[in-house]
Amino acid sequence: MIALVVLSVPPAGSRNQAFGAAPPADLSASGYTEAEYFFAGTANAYDKDGAWGVDGAWKTKAGKPADYKVRMLVRRPRDARRFDSSGGVVIVEWLNVSAMAEGAADYMQMKDEIERRGYAWVGVGAQASGVNAPRTGLKAWDPERYGSLVHPGDAYSYDIFSQAAQAIRGADGRSPKPLGELRVRTVLATGRSQSAFRLVTYINAFHSQAHLFDGYFVHSRGSNAAGLTAEQLGRDPDPIPAGAHIRADVDVPVFDLQTEGDMVTLRAHLTHQDAGPRYRRWEIAGAAHAESPRWVAEAGSLDLGFGGQSCKDPINSAPHDAVVRAALAAFVDWVRSGRTPRQSPAIALGDPTAADPILRDDHGLAKGGIRLPEVEAPTARIDGLANAVGGSAAGGQNFCFLFGHTVPFDAAVLSALYPSHQAFVTKFSAAVAALERDGYLLAADARAARAAAEQSRIGR
């Protein structure tokens, strides 16, 4: 049954722009447009139907309905022909609310690949805190623009996400359509961190009934999937078991991208599962759950904080984002052509109950997994271990524990590893070539990596 979803254009509000709007200069340079829509309807909450185990084969039964009105942010190529040549692909992101505001955590890393290919992107505000948080939610940010929004709670987030997909596909026949005249052919869901927790539950419990998405990109999930009734990352009274897998009978591609940091700080190593007909997983050694990415970390150019909040130690600088773009390319190709991407080598594990379950070499670098050039030709220890809050940032909201470390090698170690600049460039470039060959790095990012190595001062 298709739900009745009503779309509308929001008022200008006191700020005269959407929350999280892209800079006009960026849109102009990329040939994209941006529009915000409110969408409203009646959504259901759900209860578990029977026990939920780690196999992910979860059943639900409908609970109480409630009215809602939330928003979606739409970015699309200005030229419809460009979108059509992309295969009509729409990336639908479950906006992340861990900071108590709606954030496009995946779009930040996927942007270049989305624009290269001409995909459309839609960010959906499916969770309540993005609307209702007292100081940071949409209503607080601009009461004139967002005051009419209504979110009854995260128990309704799954049905709200489904109804957003229905609107994007034009299934309810309502106008205006979020994608206008564009011919939508492939609709893909993506979510990072807390949103990935939600996607796991959506895939396992709701996809088989809704069939609204042609594939799912699960990025940086933890050991626990999201619940049905709890807000944000809270646990239901009858919590889902740790280590839940993606169900084996899923009938669309599911791409599971995990970092070393996810395995340490979020215990995502417990969710590792073998490749299946519709499941692939990549694991990135050296990458934290979040970072300040750059090619070739060097002493003297390290980010000591994030978002104005200083962490105790320099945070991770691995180019995790480059692998995300390659993963998106492999995922879309898988959905559209049926070419199944490889399963990456697993990050090597020791004691799964240890605070750090990962096996490491003499430099403290993770073994196994996708080997970034910064891991294969290291100039620092980059890891996903929990960082700490700096003294000046104590007391406020802070996510330093997710940002890992970059600990530069001293001059003696660097000299022993790289007696000349060319020795460094040769080793680094070989690692880049291996990643590009295996599909873990796209050509544009490979070129940027090689240029960074050439321009570095390592071995000079």
422 belongs to a structural domain: no
433 belongs to a structural domain: no
Q: How far apart are CA 167 and CA 106, in angstroms?
A: 21
Q: How far apart are CA 456 and CA 64, in angstroms?
A: 60
28 belongs to a structural domain: yes
**Cβ count near 451 (within 10 Å):** 12
Of 130, 201, 126, residue with least CA distance to 162 = 126
Note down pLDDT in tens along the chain; length 460 residues: 567 788 899 999 999 999 999 999 999 999 999 999 999 999 999 999 999 999 999 999 999 999 999 999 999 999 999 999 999 999 999 999 999 999 999 999 999 999 999 999 999 999 999 999 999 999 999 999 999 999 999 999 999 999 999 999 987 666 568 999 999 999 999 999 999 999 999 999 999 999 999 999 999 999 999 999 999 988 888 888 899 999 999 999 999 999 999 999 999 999 999 999 999 999 999 999 999 888 886 655 555 555 445 888 899 999 999 999 999 999 999 999 999 999 999 999 999 999 999 999 999 999 999 999 999 999 999 999 999 988 665 555 678 999 999 999 999 999 999 999 999 999 999 999 999 999 999 999 999 999 999 999 999 8
Q: pTM value?
A: 0.96
Supply the range of the domain harboring residue 86. Answer: 6-408
Q: φ and ψ at 40, to 5 degrees?
A: -140, 155
Structural domain count, the chain: 1
Of 115, 120, 118, residue with least CA distance to 188 = 120
CA distances from 454 to 253, 318, 346, 379, 412 (A): 38, 18, 30, 14, 21
367 belongs to a structural domain: yes
445 belongs to a structural domain: no
Inter-residue contact 164 to 156 (CB < 8 Å): no
451 belongs to a structural domain: no
Element at 336 (helix H, strand E): helix 320-337
184 belongs to a structural domain: yes
415 belongs to a structural domain: no
